Each structure stands twice: as structure tokens, then as C-alpha cells.
Structure 1
């Protein structure tokens, strides 16, 4: 399972655009994740070789950023905010309703591979609390309510 020639070309271009191989490492990880949904070990190694950096450097960077997924995730990732504003505005009830409807806990993916539910410290969407970021386009949604969870999931995000 190797990276496409087009993706490898975009990774090389990122090196030129971002000021060199090390400066392009995060962009390379983001490009891989955008195309494949997550960053596998072979893909990480291939990107490191393409940039001419050590695999360990890429791994350290990938493991530092919580939004670089190193394991397969569902087609739709739901990042639910656990910040103070969200908590004060009813996030706990939304959290419980999401877990109940999806039948999974945080860090898990539904059996059909449709949803992954992740808890994040803050999304910066305090004006929409409780809030979440949903899907590949990372759409900020909120304010959420337990009743609104059904609609969120039924919209097929």
C-alpha cells in the first residue's frame, strides 16, 4: 500500500513551498490524512523517505498532534468539545446522548465504520457552546442539545 504518485508530488511540492523538508513534515501528514483518512505506518515511512527526513522525526510529529490520526477512524469524525464553556452549557447531556445513540465511547468507532467519537479539550467555539467539529471538512456545529443529536446524525454528516 503505497502513496499515489500525485500525493508524492504534492509532498515534494510542500517541501519547496514550506521552506524545506522539516518544515513540510506536518503538511505531508495532513495531505496523507486528507487522502486516506488516517496516517498508516507505511505511509508515514514513505513520506519521510520522500522528504529525506528520519522516520522517527515524522513519528514524533504525528504523535504530538492529536488531530493526526495514527489509527483508522470512521468516515465521519465527531470532535466533541470538553471546554469549560461547553461543560457549563450542557455538554455532559450531549455527550451522553451521542454515546447512547452511537453505541460507542470516546476513542471508539461504530461497528459499521461510519462514526468515530473523540473528546477534545477546546474547539474555540465558546460562542456556540456546547460545540463539536464534525466531518472531513471540520464543520463547527453548535449550540448542540441532546434533542439535536438525532438530527446531527440523521443529516448524514
Structure 2
């Protein structure tokens, strides 16, 4: 059975552009398109966006946030996913679960959880991880 690289090694050979071009740089480059997509959303929520391997803004989805509880969406190539990335063969059929929760004080917590995809998730440093989390402002 072929095994991928250990979880603690960078995947620079496959995903070199991520390590060379950190998320902040990609965000700045696509800020106008991201802002327009966010402003067009019908209510409060989180904009989930995909940038392809060539650095092009590929697609986006809006994750509406409930006042209490959990909201989620599944990203993958499968047509039944909430956020479909059908053109990218590196994306698994069901690749990642994006989950948003709101604390009692109203803060938003986001978590991206790998769904045992072939390539997994990568940190901004290019390291494999099972999940990444962000705690809102």
C-alpha cells in the first residue's frame, strides 16, 4: 500500500505555491472579488472561497450563521456537496467540512475538518493537518 508523506512534512512538491504565496497574499490579491461576493450575500454569514492552483478566484459559497447552534457545509467534487469544486481533480469527492459555531457572547468560531481526503488539509506553512480552526474577532 502506497503511503503519502508523514503528517509533519511540508508538501512543497505538490503544493509549493501555497508555501511561497501565503494566505494573506492571496487574500489581498482577491480582496475586491471577495468583498463583492460577501456584499452580495443575503444575510450574516461566512464567505467560503476557493482559489485554484493558478491563483485564480475559482468559486465561493455563503455559510449562513444561525443565532445559536452550528452551521456547516461540505466542500468537494461531488455534485451533492454544498460547495462543489468539480474542476479540481486534487479535491476529493467529499474533501472538507466547514463548521461555524457562535459562542453565547456572539463570537464566531470556524473549523475546517478533513474528511479523510486523499491530500488532506494544509496549513499556511504547507504542513498536513486534520483540522484548522479560527476564532473570530
Shorter-chain TM-score above 0.5: no
More strand per residue: 2
More helix per residue: 1
**Structure ID, larger Rg:** 1
- TM-score using structure 1 length: 0.25
- TM-score using structure 2 length: 0.28
